[in-house]
């Protein structure tokens, strides 16, 4: 039972490049989230999904896109990477009940140079 | 939108003493859940404790307890008998029954002194 798996763990991008951060969960959770955490700061919600085919913007969606074609996968796409997107990205998942905690992946450390 | 506020950027506590980390929230949802997570220097997010808005009693989980005051919209984390391994960032978070997103506070960095 792997929980939430994020790949890659580390990545360096050049300005203007694009990439996809992968997130997969094997707990059959409906809700999935993408957060970014800048150094010394809290987690900011980028996008979230309440089920396959349904996504919605969070607090800081600009510069990112998501899709949810299956329950298991929730990839985050960065188009035209900018230095401001240098951050640690966390994916999380949970059930559709407000009293269950979210399970987090190990994070992806992204540097844009 | 939901909002979580943690007003203590950093806290210090002596080993074996208790410490309270503050968290206030704002939501329009009639029911919601409040969570605390620990993030050690290694970076992973570790779930500590949960409190439901309709729970009559404060949640406890080992050395962690949640001081829930619904009228004041506060959900403070109390760590008893602090240990050196408790040094970490602590985040308060909330998810509502109607709002599907899960929002986090800015965090409090706790340092336990020997």
Q: pLDDT tens for residues A1-19? A: 679 999 999 999 999 999 9
Query: How far is it, in rounded angstroms, from Cα B10 to Cα B65?
Result: 19
Query: How far is it, in rounded angstroms, from Cα B17 to Cα A49?
Result: 41
With CA atoms as reference, the chain A residue closest to B41 would be: A40
Mean pLDDT per block of 10 residues along chain B (114 residues) reads: 90 98 93 94 94 92 96 97 97 83 92 97
- Are A33 and B102 inside 8 Å of each other by CB? yes
The pLDDT score that the predictor gives to residue A60 is 95
A35 touches chain B (CB under 8 A): yes
Which of B54, B95, B98, B99 to mutate: most A Cβ within 10 Å? B95
A104 touches chain B (CB under 8 A): yes
Instruction: Name the strand (E) or helix (H) holding A91.
Output: strand A87-94
Per-residue pLDDT of chain A (113 residues; tens, 9 = 90+): 679 999 999 999 999 999 999 999 999 999 999 999 998 888 999 999 999 999 999 999 999 999 999 999 999 999 899 999 999 999 999 987 666 788 999 999 999 99
- Length of chain B, in residues: 114
The pLDDT score that the predictor gives to residue B51 is 94
Closest partner residue to B45 (CB to CB) among A41, A58, A90 is: A90
With CA atoms as reference, the chain B residue closest to A48 would be: B101
How far the first Cα of chain B sits from its last, in Å, is 41
The pLDDT score that the predictor gives to residue A98 is 63
- Are B102 and A94 inside 8 Å of each other by CB? yes
Contacts of residue A70, defined as CB under 8 A and 6 or more positions apart, other chains included, come to A52
Phi, psi (rounded to 5 degrees) for A84? -65, -15
Enumerate the residues of chain A whose CB falls inside 8 A of the CB of residue B105.
42
Query: How far is it, in rounded angstroms, from Cα A37 to Cα A6?
Result: 15
């Amino acid at each position: 039972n792997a929980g939430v798996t994020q790949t890659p763990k580390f990545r360096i991008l050049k300005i203007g490049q694009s990439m996809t951060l992968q997130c997969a969960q094997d707990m059959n959770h409906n809700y999935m989230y993408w957060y970014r955490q800048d150094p010394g700061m809290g987690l900011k919600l980028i996008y979230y999904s309440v089920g396959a085919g349904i996504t919605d913007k969070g607090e800081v969606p600009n510069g990112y896109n998501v899709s949810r074609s299956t329950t298991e996968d929730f990839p985050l796409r960065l188009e035209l990477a900018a230095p401001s997107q240098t951050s640690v990205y966390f994916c999380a998942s949970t059930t559709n009940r407000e009293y269950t905690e979210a399970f987090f992946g190990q994070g992806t450390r992204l540097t844009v140079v | 939108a939901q909002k979580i506020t943690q007003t203590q950027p950093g806290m210090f506590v002596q080993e074996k003493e208790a410490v309270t980390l503050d968290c206030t929230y704002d939501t329009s949802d009639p029911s919601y859940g409040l969570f605390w997570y620990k993030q050690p220097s290694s970076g992973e997010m570790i779930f500590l404790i949960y409190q439901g808005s309709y729970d009559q009693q404060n949640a406890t989980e080992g050395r962690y307890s949640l001081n829930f005051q619904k009228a004041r919209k506060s959900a403070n984390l109390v760590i008893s008998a602090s240990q050196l391994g408790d040094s970490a960032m602590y985040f308060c978070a909330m998810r509502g029954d109607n709002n599907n997103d899960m929002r986090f506070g800015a965090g409090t960095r706790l340092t336990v002194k020997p």
